Structure 1
Amino acid sequence: MSDHSKLPVAPVGAHEPPYYVAVFTSVRTQDQSGYSETDARMEELVKDVPGFLGMDHARTPGGLSITVGYFRDADSLTEWRRNAEHRAAQKRGRAEWYESYTLHVAKVERSHGFTREQAPQGTTAG
């Protein structure tokens, strides 16, 4: 997982259904040599997949990592799954970086979001 601490925190916005999600949940090994670089490359590479809508990441203090990728259609997700660099990273992940993982793929049939509006600049309360 790349260092997102400098970016504003916000989830990927809601999209018009249907679309697909790939939920990758993992627990990593102690040795993470090369993981950050590979993860950054995968994030860069997936953005080139037509139909890629975005990605959310979370990690618990206990070490559980969750990445959710959003894709416009099944073909977009299949293109990402078949990408040669991505497949090589998956192989290395199983050999070196993951203690365990699960992958769930689902078709989204309903989606909505909420964002609290900010007070206009220069306005004071009361």
Structure 2
Amino acid sequence: MSDHSEVPVAPVAAFEPPYYVAVFTTVRSEHQSGYSETSARMEDLVKDVPGFLGMDHAQTPGGLGITVGYFRDADALTRWRTDAEHRAAQQRGRAEWYQSYTLHVAKVERSHSFVRAEDPPTVRLPAG
């Protein structure tokens, strides 16, 4: 996906189940011409899908990429899967950009989050 180094790092928050996740795990090939632009376009395009909840993405130093898309229901996931521009990107990915990939789709039945509260300010008492 696109570079978001200026955006604070945080996972997508938990949602009230049930909802769906699509876990896309990839190893990219050497041929990456046009990948960054298409990836950024797909990231913008999926946001317009009714029922899209958010996306997490991680890349290991060794080249394994993991993108998790969150969708309110199966219909939202189907709309994304069958989007014409997304389908064209999928075909190009198989032809050029990916050495291998795996897609897992699952219905989430339980979900929760944790966010550490900011540490309270340190109170310094006068010496004495």
Larger Rg: 2
Question: How many residues align structurally?
Answer: 124
| Superposition CA RMSD, Å | 1.0
CA deviation profile, 1:14-72 (whole Å, cap 9, x unmatched): 00000000000000011211000000000000000000000000010100000000000
Tell me which residue corresponds to 2:11.
11
Structure 2: segments with no counterpart, 5+ residues: none
* CA–CA separation in structure 2 for the residues paired with 1:87 and 1:31: 19
Normalization by structure 2: what TM-score?
0.94
Local SS of the residue matching 2:21: strand
* CA–CA separation in structure 2 for the residues paired with 1:125 and 1:14: 34
Local SS of the residue matching 1:3: coil
Deviation at 1:4, TM superposition (A): 1.8
* Stretches (4+) displaced over 3 A: none
Normalization by structure 1: what TM-score?
0.95
Structure 1: segments with no counterpart, 5+ residues: none
Tell me which residue corresponds to 1:124.
122
Q: Give % identity.
A: 79
